[in-house]
């Protein structure tokens, strides 16, 4: 899990470095293509391309259309608002997922989930502060990313009933490469030599962070593993301060705490140990 946290933070740093020079569409296309070749050793270990066949391709396509939109919005948000705010708002995704699971999967919306949703919404209001200052579109973009990520989470939950983590990532990279090809070609520029290392970093970190998380969940209970992911909020704030001189105001800090508290409160329910690993 520590590896997953480090890789996700590295992805955020590399994403900000690359998008200073390269359009987000191109970043996502290069990441998908390069990461596909990085994934091949795991594909080979599971039986090669023949073992990657799936009988639920439409579900993979739907999941990755949503995930592609979410990734685009997330990377765009990194260019508009402080890193800590991006990560904090991203953590509203489990809240939206709880609402969608109740609506579309028939899961019960318990009082604990209701408290989690309330805390999360209050936290978002404190971070975005509508009406208190000119609204930064970055906040809305990242909030939209979190909502679309929730759709991806719900679809992934369905996919994991029949497909492995490697197979889900395999189809993610193929489908998103196809989706993003034309938009990327329209804005394509040849990256400078200084950007190429970051491109390989984002390809590796963005692909294997969630694989590491899935492996962590296979070795320990979710109630032990998942709270560790919340370390990304203070760590991203520290990185933002050290690398970009981004100050953290008190309302953003309180909002982040409320979002995380809501997630933790819901995660600590009695059947938390039954949560399954769902790579994203």
Alpha carbon separation from 151 to 160, 173, 224 (Å, rounded): 14, 18, 24
**3-class DSSP state for residue 143?**
helix
* Alpha-carbon span 243 to 110, nearest angstrom: 41
Alpha carbon separation from 198 to 14, 17, 62, 70, 242 (Å, rounded): 5, 7, 29, 21, 18
pLDDT tens-digit map of 147-198: 998 888 888 878 878 888 889 899 999 999 999 999 999 999 999 999 999 9
Given this model, what pLDDT does residue 246 score?
A: 82
Given this model, what pLDDT does residue 269 score?
A: 54
**3-class DSSP state for residue 130?**
strand
**Confidence (pTM):** 0.81
Given this model, what pLDDT does residue 221 score?
A: 57
Percentage above 70 pLDDT, the chain: 88
Give the number of other Cβ atoms within 10 Å of residue 229's Cβ.
17
Average pLDDT, the chain: 84
pLDDT tops 60 at residue 277? no
First to last CA, the chain: 14
Given this model, what pLDDT does residue 120 score?
A: 80
pLDDT tens-digit map of 197-231: 999 999 999 888 877 876 776 666 555 565 567 77
pLDDT tops 70 at residue 273? no
pLDDT tops 90 at residue 145? yes
Given this model, what pLDDT does residue 181 score?
A: 96
Task: Work out the average pLDDT over 232-237.
Answer: 80
Given this model, what pLDDT does residue 224 score?
A: 56
pLDDT tops 60 at residue 278? no
């Amino acid at each position: 899990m520590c590896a997953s946290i480090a890789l996700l933070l590295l992805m955020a740093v590399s994403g900000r470095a690359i998008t200073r020079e390269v359009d987000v569409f191109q970043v996502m296309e290069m990441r998908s293509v390069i990461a596909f070749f990085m994934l091949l050793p795991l594909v080979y270990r599971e039986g090669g391309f023949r073992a990657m066949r799936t009988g639920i391709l439409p579900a993979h396509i739907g999941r990755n259309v949503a995930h592609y939109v979410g990734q685009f919005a997330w990377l765009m948000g990194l260019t508009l608002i402080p890193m800590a705010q991006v990560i904090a708002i991203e953590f509203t995704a489990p809240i939206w997922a709880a609402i969608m699971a109740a609506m579309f999967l028939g899961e019960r919306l318990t009082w604990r989930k209701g408290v989690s949703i309330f805390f999360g919404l209050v936290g978002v209001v404190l971070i975005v502060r509508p009406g208190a200052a000119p609204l930064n579109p970055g906040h809305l973009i990242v909030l939209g990313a979190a909502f679309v990520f929730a759709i991806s989470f719900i679809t992934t939950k369905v996919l994991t009933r029949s497909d492995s983590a490697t197979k889900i990532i395999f189809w993610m990279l193929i489908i998103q490469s196809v989706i993003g090809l034309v938009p990327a070609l329209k804005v394509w520029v040849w990256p400078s030599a200084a950007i190429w290392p970051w491109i390989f970093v984002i390809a590796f970190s963005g692909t294997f962070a969630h694989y590491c998380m899935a492996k962590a969940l296979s070795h320990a209970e979710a109630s032990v593993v998942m709270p560790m992911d919340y370390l990304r909020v203070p760590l991203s704030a520290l990185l933002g301060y050290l690398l970009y001189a981004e100050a953290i105001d008190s309302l953003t800090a309180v909002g982040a705490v409320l979002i995380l508290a809501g997630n933790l409160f819901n995660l600590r329910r009695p059947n938390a140990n039954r949560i399954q690993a769902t790579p994203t």
